[in-house]
Amino acid sequence: MAGGVKKKLHLGRLHPFRCGTKSFQPEHSLIGGPGFSRVVFCNNTESQRVLTYGNNYVTSTKYTLATFFPKSIFEQFRRAANIFFLITAILSFTPVSPSSPVTSVLPLALVIAAAMLKEAMEDLRRKKQDIEVNNRKVKVHRGEGVFDNAKWMNLQVGDIVRVEKDEFFPADLILLSSSYEEAICYVETMNLDGETNLKLKQAVDATSKLHEDSGFQKFRAVIKSEDPNANLYSYIGSLQLEEQQYPLTPQQLLLRESKLRNTDFIYGVVIFTGHDTKVVQNSTAPPSKRSKIERRMDKIVYLLFSILVLMSFMGPIFFGISTREDLENGTMTRWYLRPDDTTIYYDPNRAPVAAILNFLTFIMLYSFLIPIPLYITLEIVKVIQCTFINQDLHMYYEEADKPAKTRTSNLNEELGQVNTILSDKTGTLTCNLMEFIKCSIAGTAYGHGVTEVERALARREGLPSAKEVTNGEGQVENSNKAAIKGFNFFDERITHGKWVNEPHADVIQKFLLLLAICHTAVPEVDEDTGRLSYEAESPDEAAFVIAARELGFEFYERTQTSILLHEFHPISGRKVQRSYKLLNILEFSSSRKRMSVIVRNMEGKLLLLCKGADSVMFERLTKNGKEFEEQTQEHINEYANAGLRTLVLAYRELDEEEYNKFNEEFHEAKNSVSADHEELMEKVAEKIEKDLILLGATAVEDKLQNGVPECIDKLAQAGIKIWVLTGDKMETAINIGFACCLLRQGVKQIVISSETPKIKALEKVGDNSSVAVAFRENVLEQILEAKESLTTLRKSSEALALIIDGKSLSCALEDDVKGLFLELALGCASVICCRCSPKQKALVTRLVKIRTGRTTLAIGDGANDVGMLQEADIGIGISGVEGMQAVMSSDIAIAQFRYLERLLLLHGHWCYRRISIMAKLPTMIGICHSIMSSSRQFLW
pLDDT at 468: 44
Identity (one letter) of the amino acid at 4? G
Confidence (pLDDT) at 98 = 75
Cα separation, 799 vs 802, whole angstroms: 10
pLDDT at 79 over 80: no
Which of 187-196, 562-571, 580-589 has the weakest average pLDDT? 187-196
**pLDDT for res 195:** 60
Among 75-89, 564-578, 696-710, 822-836, name the one with the lowest average pLDDT. 75-89
940 Cβ neighbours under 8 A, 6+ residues apart = none
DSSP notation for 303-319: HHHHHHHHHHHHHHHHH
The residue ranking higher by pLDDT, 795 or 521, is 521
How is residue 837 annotated by DSSP?
-
pLDDT higher than 60, residue 570: yes
pLDDT at 701 over 80: yes
Running DSSP on this structure, what letter comes out for residue 862? Answer: S
Contact 537, 628 (CB under 8 A): no
pLDDT at 18 over 60: no
CA distance linking residue 698 with residue 518, whole number of Å: 13
Q: Residue 577: CB partners within 8 Å, gap ≥ 6?
A: 564, 565, 566, 567
pLDDT in tens, 500-513: 999 999 999 999 99
b/e string for 488-497 if b means 16 or more Cβ within 10 A?
bbbbeebbee
Model confidence at 602: pLDDT above 80: yes
Return d(Cα 723, Cα 716) in angstroms, integer: 11
C-alpha angle 357/359/364, rounded to 5°?
100
Residue 620: its pLDDT value, please?
A: 92
Mean pLDDT of 657-684: 79
For residue 109, the surrounding DSSP H or E stretch is helix 102-134
Q: What pLDDT digit, counting tens, does each position of 382-441 carry?
A: 888 988 998 999 999 888 788 898 877 778 889 999 999 999 887 788 876 788 999 999
Average the pLDDT over each of 539-548, 770-779, 887-896 and give the range with the smallest value. Answer: 770-779
Q: What is the pLDDT of residue 123?
A: 81
Distances (CA, A) of 137 to 150, 451, 510, 635: 5, 44, 49, 52
Q: What are the start-end ranges of the H helices in 367-479? A: 372-390, 452-460
- The closest of 148, 163, 78 to 119, measured between CA atoms, is 78
Calculate mean pLDDT across residues 908-914: 90
Percentage of the chain surpassing pLDDT 90? 24
- Which pLDDT belongs to residue 483? 67
Residue 14: per-residue pLDDT: 45
Whole-angstrom distance, CA of residue 238 vs CA of residue 221: 10
The residues facing 936 across adjacent strands are: none
Q: Mean pLDDT, to the nearest integer, of 829-842?
A: 86
Greater confidence (352 vs 893) lies with 893
Strand-pair category, 748-752 with 721-725 = unpaired
The string of DSSP letters for 287-303 reads PPP--HHHHHHHHHHHH
Residue 726: pLDDT above 70? yes
Q: How confident is the model at residue 329 (pLDDT cuts 50, 70, 90)?
A: low
Cα–Cα distances (Å) from 354 to 149, 329, 333, 334, 364, in that order, read 76, 20, 17, 15, 16
CA dist 345 → 96, 291, 314, 361, 735 (Å): 8, 43, 17, 10, 79
Q: What is the pLDDT of residue 447?
A: 92
Encoded amino acid at 829, one letter: A
Indicate the DSSP class of residue 64.
-
Residue 166: pLDDT over 90: no
Q: For residues 71 and 88, give the distance between their C-alpha atoms in angstroms, rounded to a whole number.
A: 22
Q: Which residues sit opposite 196 in a β-bridge?
A: none
Q: For 901, what's the count of Cα atoms within 13 Å in the CB-facing half-sphere?
A: 16
Determine contact, residues 87/77, Cβ cutoff 8 Å.
no
Three-state secondary structure string covering 518-580: CCCCEEEECCCCCCEEEECCCHHHHHHHHHHHHCCEEEEEECCCEEEEEEECCCCCCEEEEEE
Encode pLDDT of 245-267 as tens digits: 888 888 899 999 888 987 889 99
- Alpha helix ranges (H) inside 470-557: 505-517, 539-550
Q: What is the pLDDT of residue 94?
A: 79
CB 863 within 8 A of CB 191: yes
Rounded CA-CA distance 112/92 in Å is 18
Q: For residue 708, give every residue at least 6 positions away whose Cβ sits within 8 Å of its Cβ, in sequence order, or none.
A: 429, 452, 740, 897, 898
Cα separation, 940 vs 934, whole angstroms: 10
Sheet of 265-272, strands arranged across: 146-151, 137-143, 160-164, 265-272, 172-178, 253-254
Contact 386, 405 (CB under 8 A): no
Q: Strand, coil or helix: what is 616?
A: helix
**Once rounded to an integer, what is the mean pLDDT over residues 730-737?**
76
Q: Which helix (H) or strand (E) holds 663?
A: helix 656-670
Residue 491 known to be catalytic: no
**Whether pLDDT at 559 is above 90:** no
Q: Which positions ≥6 away from 760 have C-beta within 8 Å? A: none
DSSP string, 782-841: HHHHHHHHHHHHHHTT--EEEEE-HHHHHHHTSTTTHHHHHHHHHTSSEEEE-S--HHHH
Q: Which candidate, 842, 862, 882, 888, places its Cα nearest to that of 284?
A: 842
User: What contacts 455, CB < 8 A, 6 or more positions away?
Assistant: 465, 466, 709
Q: Is 854 left (phi over 0), alpha (psi -120 to 50) or beta?
A: beta
Whole-angstrom CA distances from 372 to 864, 917, 923 are 40, 16, 10
| DSSP-derived pairing of the beta strands 693-704 and 645-654 | antiparallel
Q: Does 8 have pLDDT greater than 60?
A: no
212-238 mean pLDDT: 86
238-245: long-range contacts at Cβ-Cβ below 8 A with a sequence spacing of 24 or more?
238/24, 238/28, 238/31, 239/174, 239/204, 239/206, 239/207, 241/206, 241/207, 242/206, 244/206, 245/24
Q: Please, which residues bridge with residue 723 across strands?
A: 422, 831
Portion of the chain with pLDDT greater than 70, in percent: 82
Residue 795 to residue 827: CA distance in whole angstroms = 12
Return the minimum-mean-pLDDT range out of 108-122, 569-583, 672-686: 672-686
Q: Which of 224-233, 366-375, 446-455, 503-512 has the lowest mean pLDDT?
A: 366-375
Summarize pLDDT for 205-220 with one digit per residue, the tens.
889 888 888 888 888 9
Mean per-residue pLDDT of the chain: 81
Mean pLDDT lowest for which of 171-185, 504-518, 612-626, 873-887? 873-887
Reported as a single tens digit per residue, the pLDDT across 758-807 is 666 666 665 566 777 778 888 888 888 888 877 777 666 667 889 998 88
The rounded distance, in Å, linking the Cα atoms of 809 and 587 is 28
Is residue 5 pLDDT above 60, yes or no? no
- Name the catalytic one among 424, 491, 728, 873: 424
Residue 521: name the closest of 423, 617, 434 by CA: 434
**In what helix (H) or strand (E) does residue 406 lie, and over which residues does it extend?**
strand 405-406
The predicted pLDDT at position 733 comes to 78
